[in-house]
């Protein structure tokens, strides 16, 4: 059974079904919601089969499907996952039903189109992580932008058009350079097959150019400082579920790209540019943490905190040792879940009071105790308290980074302090204190639907914190393989270096 | 058995926390106190079995926690003497305080939440002391920090409590920043974070160097100093002490349990636990001595001027922790642990006693508004005396044995820092006795200074609060006598066995047992009596004297009253500049520079360029033709030059 294709394209089928359902406005909305929910749930349970059936000992691509597509150019429909992509697929399929459920009541305008957009988005996300052919990958990778652009631009806040365009142009600009690099790779290897390109030894000079082209695309997606300014705007204007997917999955595409492409294909360039990346990462951690401290808008604060957390990820990826890479991967998964949850948490109070202004709240612990508990757990995960998912990633990244550079590690570790400062400060202003306003006092606690949304996330955050082996194990062989190859390439280059000097 | 000791509080916390509404206040109290008493009884049995009877118990591995690269870490319970001493101390104090809280918090609307937090804290503390690796130690470390944060901010509707809780968490994070870097350094040197693996390799690493922040360091020294920064945060040592006095915003049982008896001693425990590394890093030990001794004196000087009854005891705690640290720093780990244990009893007693006073005074904490209480609450009065006698180190009380041992070890270390610690310690001992009796006299003696209404309501606490006090008082009297032989006396080698490492040449306790000058053991007692006498003079015989002295030495008095201006300094340097920088980066960096030059600027430039380009479209054929010709010429020239080159 072609399970990968099934997981990838089933949401699209759901979208088609929603499209052809008729009836009056209310029935259409009702049907669209339940079809979207059921489709995404079925996809999630199907995708769990990938985890159960995954051979955790093997670094190879699994569940591989390959059909010739345009044979004259060596382009194929080639899908497969390894330990690096497995959990990103699961993250996408996990968050989509949660998003559908979170939009159940808050979206009342053009529900049908909204649900279609989310299901199409799911197909694109899963496809991005499964594609093993550059053409396919590029189609999915860019395809993500369209539904996301619409979600922000149609269902967003007052400045949605500005934000949607900023988001679209920024990410597209980066991607165009990547397209050029993909063409160059095609000319070099004679194929668009990703596994082939991963084995190919590119010339050192060419590596740098290609690395930079890929970097342009992934750094924007990540986003890294200083190309991060689209993110706060996009988050603020996006509807809650849009923010969840944006923070939860879309940002991870940048990190996935670095691990999947930049590091194995361009090991020498990765080493050459490592200090550059470290510098940007550390700036991201400190700079955006400080900016987060000064925010008065809840969503902006969390958006900036995302940039800081992604700083840890890029640091971990380019230290390119086992601890750092596993930490970076884990940090991405953890951040996907936690920041998604934090945006949902903002969404809960936004649905009730229709403002994200922190000062409008305060004292919610009194009338919303369940909400306070969920918020507390997520806040602790965000500050990386041991026992939650956030700790494992940050800790491993820093352990790995310390072996490469104590300076960058010490500077990045200040993020532990600053992160605690802005999150605790946010929590205090929203949840603690006394209630001074009447409209805040009458806000009801979490509804059953909202509890159903949060329960799996809380469970997952604790599971990842207490028994992370379930997640670390399957990614280990693929990453070990990657580290080995990067080191081998760097050793070979070192061995070559004296001889090239001599030949001059 | 150890599993029950550690996890019973967790289960109780979960039950009280999640089903508090279902089982009610009484149910939550029963569950948490029951679980805690069970845990305490089993912990004492474990203590007797492992420490006194000398049965070795293997480390209990529960399951793998992290496995990445060479880094493998388990969830495990390590049960050596050091662990069981801490387990017994923590769980006994915690059980007493759980029971006390039943009475103290009886009027509070959220009792299940409070009991749940207390049990949750105890769980983390027990995980901390039984850890078998650095990462679980860090887990417990941050976990107790979390509970401390939750409990300081327990009354979350008070702005001051919220501010104090955040401050506690963040200052601790500053310490943990150092701690984490220390862990990374250890991992880099030893390739493992399991205690046994690291300890076995430590002697071989003594000469290695490590580059940290561009400087080449002795590897063990820098690792130990970084780890010690974590201990400074948790144990409120200079300059990371500022959170502890503010932490008194929490309910009094919290101050007793977390900010006196257990959590704040975690730093001392850590240094003792890591003695097999610290022993090979003499420079790091010297730093420990300097920080500890300076804090011991600093906190005592501030304690002399405070008027809030709990803050006096808080500074006293800070000061006593300093004693423990400089004991550890001169390799007298046994003495440090001994003082840790006795201090847990008498300091918890003092806090709970002052809680009893506050309870009686309907919430008043200012000593200037007390006075004349001893007839009204005689039992509390007596218990406070016991606590103060133990704290001041008067013979036969617990503090006498442990504190004297520390001072003697400092002298016997025969080093410059040892002498420094000894003399500062002696001076601090004088101040300790002074502020303790100042507290007693101001609170219990003299004319009542409270209003009539309050005085009318003054009453002795109920039994449920007094019985835990009796338990702690028993410890404050007898723990010193009973423990001396095992902790620091002749039996110490069989008692501690492998859990502490002291190199023969560093063994200050051994030196202290032989040939000290006569005045060294005598001096602490003399200065304590002097301190009491001066306090009597100032607050009983001539009550006008303190104000007169404060008036004469106005600058010094203000300096001490304002706690050496640490808070103001930090606020100005770190807190405000962080907010200012954040705002600047946001508006200036993101807004003006990045967006201004980037997307917004580009958009504006594109619009401008389009407008200019449209001006080129004049509609005259010869303009276009001219452009084409120019273009062709440029292209041909470029092509020729390129092929020629």
pLDDT tens figures, B237-296? 888 888 888 888 888 888 888 888 888 899 999 999 998 888 888 888 899 999 999 998
Yes or no, beta carbons of A469 and B66 under 8 Å apart: yes
Q: How far apart are CA A304 and CA A316, in angstroms?
A: 19
Structure tokens at A33: 């919601």
Distance CA B324, CA B409 (A): 11
CA distance B8 to A111: 50
Q: Find the CB nearest A326 among B69, B143, B187.
A: B69
B143–A294 CB contact, under 8 Å: no
Put simply, the answer to whether A468 touches B65 (Cβ < 8 Å) is yes
Among A334, A304, A330, residue whose Cα is nearest residue A317: A330
> Is any Cβ of chain B less than 8 angstroms from the Cβ of A491?
no
Task: Tell me if chain B has a CB within 8 Å of the CB of A392.
Answer: yes
B188 → closest Cβ in A229, A392, A402: A402
**Strand B71-77 vs strand B60-68: parallel, antiparallel, or unpaired?**
antiparallel
- Cβ–Cβ below 8 Å for A472 and B157: no
Phi and psi of A107, rounded to 5°? -100, 120
Contact B166 A425 (CB under 8 A): yes
Q: Count CB pairs under 8 A between chains A and B.
A: 143
Kindly tell me if the per-residue pLDDT of B217 is higher than 50.
yes
Question: Are B65 and A295 a contacting pair at CB < 8 A?
Answer: no
Contact of A225 with A284, CB cutoff 8 Å: yes
Q: CB of B10 within 8 A of CB of B36?
A: no
Would you call B143 and A387 a contact, using CB atoms and an 8 Å cutoff? yes
Q: Indicate yes or no: CB of B153 within 8 angstroms of CB of A396.
A: no
Please check whether residue A423 touches B, CB under 8 A. Answer: no
Please indicate if any CB of chain B lies within 8 Å of the CB of A426. no
A227 to chain B, any CB pair closer than 8 A? The answer is: yes
Selected residue of B69, B124, B131, B222 to mutate for chain A interface (largest A Cβ count, 10 A): B69
CB spacing of B143 vs A363 below 8 angstroms? no
Q: Given an 8 Å threshold on Cβ–Cβ distance, is A421 in contact with B578? A: yes
| SS3 readout for A169-218 | HHHHHHHHHHHHHHHHHHHHHCCCEHHHHHHCCCCHHHHHHHHHHHHHHH
Per-residue pLDDT of chain A (504 residues; tens, 9 = 90+): 688 888 889 898 888 888 888 778 888 888 888 888 999 999 999 999 999 988 888 888 888 888 888 888 888 889 999 989 999 999 999 999 999 998 888 878 888 888 899 999 999 999 999 999 988 999 899 888 888 888 888 888 788 888 888 887 788 777 888 888 888 888 888 888 888 888 888 888 888 889 999 998 899 888 888 888 888 888 888 888 989 999 999 999 999 999 999 999 998 888 889 889 999 999 889 888 888 888 888 888 999 999 999 999 999 999 988 889 999 999 999 999 999 999 999 988 888 888 888 888 888 888 888 888 899 999 999 998 998 998 999 999 999 998 888 888 888 888 888 888 888 888 888 888 888 888 878 888 888 888 998 999 999 999 999 999 889 989 999 999 899 888 888 888 887 765 554 444
d(CA B134, CA B181): 12
B544 within 8 A of B367, measured Cβ to Cβ: no
Contacts of B511 (CB under 8 A, 6+ apart): B409, B412, B413, B414
* CB-nearest partner of A432 from B162, B169, B595: B162
- Residues facing A214 on adjacent strands: none
Token pair for B543: 């009550």
* ipTM of the complex in this document: 0.87
Tokens of B402: 């442990």
Distances in whole angstroms, Cα of residue B612 to Cα of each of A11, B276, B518, B628, B631: 47, 76, 97, 18, 19
Burial track A260-299 (b if 16+ CB lie within 10 A, e otherwise): bbbbbbbbbbbbebbeebbebbbbbbbbbbbbbbbbebbb
* Number of other residues whose CB lies within 10 A of the CB of residue B517: 9
Which residues 14-43 in chain A show a CB within 8 A of chain B? Answer: none
- CA B451 – CA B443 distance, rounded (Å): 14
Share above pLDDT 70 across residues of chain B, in percent, rounded to a whole number? 96
Residue A120 buriedness (CB in 10 A; 0-12 / 13-18 / 19+): buried
Find all residues with CB under 8 Å of A245, minimum gap 6, and list them.
A95, A96, A99, A118, A121, A125, A148, A340
Closest Cβ–Cβ partner in B66, B166, B582 for A392: B66
Say how many C-beta atoms besides its own lie within 10 A of residue B56's C-beta.
Answer: 11
Whether B579 and A294 lie within 8 Å, measured CB to CB: yes
**Hey, are the CB atoms on A409 and B184 less than 8 Å from each other?**
yes
What is the distance between the alpha carbons of residues B50 and B562, in angstroms, rounded to a whole number?
47
Give the separation between CA B106 and CA B642, rounded to whole angstroms.
92
Ramachandran region, residue B60 (left: φ > 0; alpha: ψ -120 to 50; beta: rest): beta
A293 to B598: CB separation less than 8 angstroms, yes or no: no
Is the bond into A226 cis (omega within 30 degrees of 0)? Answer: yes
Residues of B with CB below 8 A from A328's CB? none
In whole angstroms, what is the distance from residue A360 CA to residue B315 CA?
A: 38
Q: Hunting for tokens 């006390």 — which residue is that?
A: B100
Chain A segment 402-421 residues within 8 A of B by beta carbon are: 402-403, 406-407, 409-410, 413-414, 416-418, 420-421
Rounded to two decimals, the pTM is 0.88
Q: Of B437, B303, B278, B307, give the one whose Cα is nearest residue B367.
A: B307
Distance from CA of B10 to the nearest CA of A (A): 14
**What is the least distance, in Å, from the CA of A105 to any CA of chain B?**
28
- Give burial (CB, 10 Å; 0-12/13-18/19+) of B627: exposed
Q: Which of A229, A396, A409 sits opposite B68 (nearest CB)?
A: A396
Q: Any idea what DSSP says for residue A73?
A: G
Q: Which of residues 329-388 of A touch B (CB under 8 A)?
A: 363, 365-366, 380, 385-387
Token pair of A21 as six digits: 């359902």
Chain A positions touching B582 (Cβ under 8 A) are 290-294
pLDDT of residue B244: 85
Report how far apart, in Å, the C-alpha atoms of B514 and of each of B378, B494, B510, B517, B584 are: 43, 20, 7, 10, 63
3-state secondary structure A341-359: HHHHHHHHHHHHHCCCEHH
Give SS3 for B500. coil
Name which of A56, A288, A294, A441 to mutate to probe chain B: the one with the most chain B Cβ atoms within 10 A of its Cβ.
Answer: A294
Write the CA distances from B161 to A358, A433, B165, B250, integer angstroms. 20, 9, 6, 7
């Amino acid at each position: 059974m072609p399970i990968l294709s099934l997981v990838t394209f089933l949401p699209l089928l759901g979208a088609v079904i929603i499209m052809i359902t008729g009836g009056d406005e209310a029935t259409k909305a009702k049907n669209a919601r339940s079809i979207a929910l059921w489709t995404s749930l079925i996809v999630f349970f199907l995708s769990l089969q990938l985890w159960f059936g995954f051979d955790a000992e093997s670094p190879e691509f699994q569940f591989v499907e390959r059909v010739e597509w345009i044979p004259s150019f060596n382009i194929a429909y080639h899908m497969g996952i390894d330990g690096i992509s497995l959990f990103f697929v699961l993250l996408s399929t996990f968050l989509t039903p949660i998003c559908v459920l979170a939009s159940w009541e808050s979206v009342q305008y053009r529900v049908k189109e909204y649900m279609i957009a989310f299901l199409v988005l799911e197909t694109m996300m899963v496809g991005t992580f499964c594609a093993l052919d550059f053409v396919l990958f590029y189609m999915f990778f860019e395809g993500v932008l369209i539904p996301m652009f619409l979600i922000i631009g149609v269902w967003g806040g007052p400045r949605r058009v500005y934000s949607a365009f900023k988001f679209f142009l920024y990410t597209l600009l980066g991607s165009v350079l990547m397209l050029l690099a993909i063409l160059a790779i095609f000319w070099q290897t004679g194929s668009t097959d990703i596994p082939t390109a991963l084995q190919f030894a590119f010339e050192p000079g060419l590596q740098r150019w290609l690395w930079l082209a890929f970097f342009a695309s992934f750094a924007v997606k990540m986003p890294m400082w200083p190309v991060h300014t689209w993110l706060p705007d996009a988050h603020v204007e996006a509807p809650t579920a849009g923010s969840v997917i944006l923070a939860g999955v879309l940002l991870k595409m940048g990190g996935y790209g670095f691990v999947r492409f930049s590091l194995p294909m361009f090991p020498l360039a990765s080493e050459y540019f490592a200090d550059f990346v470290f510098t940007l990462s550390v700036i991201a951690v400190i700079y955006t943490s400080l900016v987060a401290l000064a925010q008065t808008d809840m969503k902006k604060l969390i958006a900036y905190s995302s940039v800081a957390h992604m700083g840890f990820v890029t640091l971990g990826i380019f230290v390119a040792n086992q601890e750092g890479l596993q930490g970076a991967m884990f940090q991405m998964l953890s951040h996907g879940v936690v920041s998604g949850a934090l945006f949902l948490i903002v969404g809960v109070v936004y649905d009730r009071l229709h403002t994200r202004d922190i000062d409008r709240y305060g004292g919610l612990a009194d009338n919303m105790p369940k909400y306070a508990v969920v918020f507390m757990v997520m806040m602790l995960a965000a500050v990386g308290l041991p026992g939650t998912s956030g700790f494992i990633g940050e800790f491993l990244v820093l352990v790995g980074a310390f072996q490469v550079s104590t300076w960058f590690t010490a500077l990045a570790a200040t993020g532990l302090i600053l992160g605690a400062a802005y999150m605790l400060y946010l929590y205090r202003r929203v949840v603690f204190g006394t209630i001074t306003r009447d409209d805040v006092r009458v806000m009801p606690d979490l509804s059953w639907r909202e509890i159903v949304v949060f329960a799996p996330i809380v469970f997952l955050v604790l599971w990842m914190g207490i028994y992370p082996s379930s997640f670390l194990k399957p990614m280990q062989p693929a990453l070990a393989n990657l580290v080995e190859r990067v080191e081998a390439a760097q050793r070979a280059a070192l061995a070559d270096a004296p001889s090239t000097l001599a030949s001059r | 058995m150890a599993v029950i000791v550690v996890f019973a509080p967790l289960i109780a916390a979960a039950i009280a926390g999640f089903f508090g509404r279902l089982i009610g206040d009484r149910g939550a109290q029963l569950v948490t106190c029951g679980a805690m008493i069970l845990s305490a009884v089993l912990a004492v049995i474990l203590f007797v079995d492992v420490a006194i009877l000398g049965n070795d118990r293997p480390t209990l591995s529960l399951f793998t926690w992290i496995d990445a690269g060479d880094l493998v870490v388990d969830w495990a319970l390590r049960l050596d003497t050091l662990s069981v001493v801490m387990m017994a101390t923590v769980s006994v104090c915690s059980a007493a305080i759980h029971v006390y809280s039943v009475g103290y918090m009886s009027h509070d609307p959220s009792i299940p939440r409070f009991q749940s937090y207390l049990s949750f804290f105890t769980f983390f503390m027990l995980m901390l002391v039984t850890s078998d690796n650095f990462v679980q130690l860090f887990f417990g470390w941050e976990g107790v920090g979390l509970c401390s944060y939750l409990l300081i901010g327990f009354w979350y509707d008070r702005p001051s409590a919220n501010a104090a809780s955040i401050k506690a968490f963040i200052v601790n994070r500053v310490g943990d920043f150092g701690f984490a870097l220390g862990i990374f350094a250890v991992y880099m040197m030893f390739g493992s974070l399991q205690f046994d693996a690291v300890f076995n390799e430590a002697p071989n690493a003594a000469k290695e160097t490590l580059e940290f922040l561009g400087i080449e360091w002795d590897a063990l020294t820098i690792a130990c100093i970084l780890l010690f920064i974590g201990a400074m945060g948790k144990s409120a040592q200079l300059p990371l002490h500022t959170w502890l006095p503010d932490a008194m915003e929490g309910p009094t049982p919290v101050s007793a349990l977390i900010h006196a008896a257990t959590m704040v001693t975690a730093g001392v425990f850590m240094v003792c636990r890591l003695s097999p590394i610290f022993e090979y890093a003499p420079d790091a030990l010297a730093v420990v001595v300097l920080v500890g001794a300076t804090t011991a004196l600093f906190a005592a000087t501030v304690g002399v001027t405070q008027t809030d009854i709990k803050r006096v005891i808080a500074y006293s705690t800070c000061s006593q922790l300093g004693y423990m640290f400089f004991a550890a720093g001169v390799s007298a780990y046994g003495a440090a642990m001994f003082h840790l244990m006795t201090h847990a009893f008498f300091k918890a007693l003092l806090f709970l006693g002052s809680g009893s006073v506050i309870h009686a005074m309907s919430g008043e904490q200012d000593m200037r508004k007390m006075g004349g209480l001893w007839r009204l609450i005689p039992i509390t009065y007596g218990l406070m005396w016991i606590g103060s006698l133990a704290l001041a180190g008067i013979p036969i009380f617990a503090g006498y044995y442990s504190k004297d041992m520390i001072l003697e070890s400092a002298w016997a270390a025969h080093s410059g820092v040892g002498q420094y610690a000894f003399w500062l310690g002696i001076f601090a001992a004088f101040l300790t006795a002074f502020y303790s009796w100042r507290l007693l006299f101001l609170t219990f003696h003299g004319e009542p200074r409270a209003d009539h209404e309050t005085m009318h309501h003054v009453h002795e606490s109920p039994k449920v609060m007094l019985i835990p006090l009796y338990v702690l008082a028993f410890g404050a009297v007898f723990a010193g006598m009973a423990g001396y032989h095992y902790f620091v006396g002749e039996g110490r080698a069989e008692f501690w066995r492998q859990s502490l490492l002291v190199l023969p040449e560093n063994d200050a306790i051994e030196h202290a047992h032989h040939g000290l000058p006569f005045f060294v053991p005598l001096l602490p007692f003399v200065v304590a009596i002097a301190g009491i006498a001066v306090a009597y003079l100032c607050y009983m015989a001539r009550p006008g004297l303190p104000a007169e002295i404060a008036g004469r030495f106005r600058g010094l008095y203000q300096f001490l009253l304002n706690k050496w201006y640490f808070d103001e300094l930090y606020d100005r340097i770190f807190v405000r500049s962080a907010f200012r920088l954040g705002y600047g980066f946001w508006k200036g960096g993101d807004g003006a520079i990045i967006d201004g030059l980037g997307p917004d600027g580009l958009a504006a430039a594109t619009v401008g360029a389009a407008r200019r380009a449209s001006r080129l479209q004049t509609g005259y054929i010869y303009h276009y033709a001219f452009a084409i010709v120019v273009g062709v010429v440029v292209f041909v020239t470029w092509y020729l030059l390129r092929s020629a080159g």
